[in-house]
């Protein structure tokens, strides 16, 4: 764990690009809070809050949750004490109007890291995911298959594909990303705070590139 990094960061990338994993690693290394809107929204859906019910119909079809819902959550979170010295936003902003809303809150972003992975690789990654219907153990048909085929190694219950990982939903989410989120790359590039990291096969290799970008920014290079 390293202290002393005062930086407000955003991680961009298509669903399945690995930005959440990198955000967690960077969060732990530099003691910065990683704020995942996806996690906050999933929690609201699970708890069947009013906001969660509103969000559910959008997430199940692969569409984006409306701005006013997401912006409200983010505003509350950034007002907390642990965000005073910096933070990592994962999954927000997702549209240019959201980025503009962030700017209007007076939040100055120091660094935006865009993790770039081709669509076909993302479809392969996500549609190959399998989850045990009972114990929740995770597998992947290519990268981490169960040695018992279509059943869980641990409890021998059936492995399932989450709705979000079905190929048709993944393609729908990628289409939404390209239409609504990808314009943020140009938005932050014009502000001079964007850096692109090419997502690698191995998480550790992507992490090495990501940390290199952060350290370069930290040292003013």
The phi, psi pair for 212, rounded to 5°, reads: -65, -40
Is residue 177 domain-resident? Answer: yes
Is residue 113 domain-resident? Answer: yes
Q: In what order do the strands lie in the sheet with 87-90?
A: 34-36, 87-90, 8-13, 111-116, 194-198
pLDDT at residue 1 in the model: 44
Q: What integer is the mean pLDDT of 12-30? A: 92
pLDDT at residue 4 in the model: 57
Catalytic residues: 19, 94, 129, 162, 173
Is residue 173 domain-resident? Answer: yes
pLDDT at residue 52 in the model: 79
**What domain range includes position 67?**
8-117+166-218
CB 145 within 8 A of CB 139: yes
Helix/strand/coil for 58: helix
Residue 136 gets which letter from DSSP? -
pLDDT at residue 2 in the model: 53
Q: What integer is the mean pLDDT of 193-214? A: 94
Is 74 or 5 the better-scoring residue by pLDDT?
74
Is residue 160 domain-resident? Answer: no
Is residue 136 domain-resident? Answer: no
Confidence of residue 74 (pLDDT cuts 50, 70, 90): confident
Cα dihedral sign, 48-52-54-59: negative
Residue 163 gets which letter from DSSP? G
Mean pLDDT, all residues of the chain: 89
* Cβ-proximal residues to 113 (8 Å cutoff; 6+ apart), any chain: 9, 10, 11, 12, 19, 22, 195, 196, 197, 210, 213, 214
* Cβ-proximal residues to 9 (8 Å cutoff; 6+ apart), any chain: 26, 32, 86, 87, 88, 89, 109, 110, 111, 112, 113, 214
Domains of the chain: total = 1
Q: What is the CATH number of the domain that holds 61?
A: 3.40.50.300
Is residue 75 domain-resident? Answer: yes
Q: What integer is the mean pLDDT of 132-159? A: 91
Is residue 122 domain-resident? Answer: no
């Amino acid at each position: 764990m390293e202290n002393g990094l005062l930086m407000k960061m955003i991680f961009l990338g298509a669903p399945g690009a690995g930005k959440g994993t990198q955000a967690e690693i960077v969060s732990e290394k530099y003691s910065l809070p990683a704020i995942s809107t996806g996690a906050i929204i999933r929690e609201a859906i699970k708890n069947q809050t009013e906001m969660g019910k509103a969000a559910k119909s959008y997430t199940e079809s692969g569409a984006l949750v409306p701005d006013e819902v997401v912006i409200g959550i983010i505003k509350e979170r950034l007002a907390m004490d642990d965000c005073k010295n910096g933070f990592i936003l994962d999954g927000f902003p997702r549209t240019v109007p959201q980025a503009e809303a962030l700017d209007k809150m007076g939040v100055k972003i120091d660094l935006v890291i865009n993790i770039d992975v081709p669509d076909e690789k993302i479809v392969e990654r996500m549609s190959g995911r399998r989850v045990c219907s009972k114990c929740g153990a995770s597998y992947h048909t290519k990268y981490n298959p169960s040695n018992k085929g279509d059943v869980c190694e641990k409890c021998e219950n059936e492995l399932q594909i989450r709705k979000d990982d079905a190929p048709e939903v993944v393609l729908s989410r990628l289409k939404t990303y390209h239409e609504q989120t990808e314009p943020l790359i140009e938005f932050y590039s014009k502000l001079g705070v964007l850096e692109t990291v090419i997502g690698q096969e191995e998480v550790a290799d992507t992490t090495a590139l990501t940390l290199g970008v952060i350290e370069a920014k930290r040292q003013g290079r």
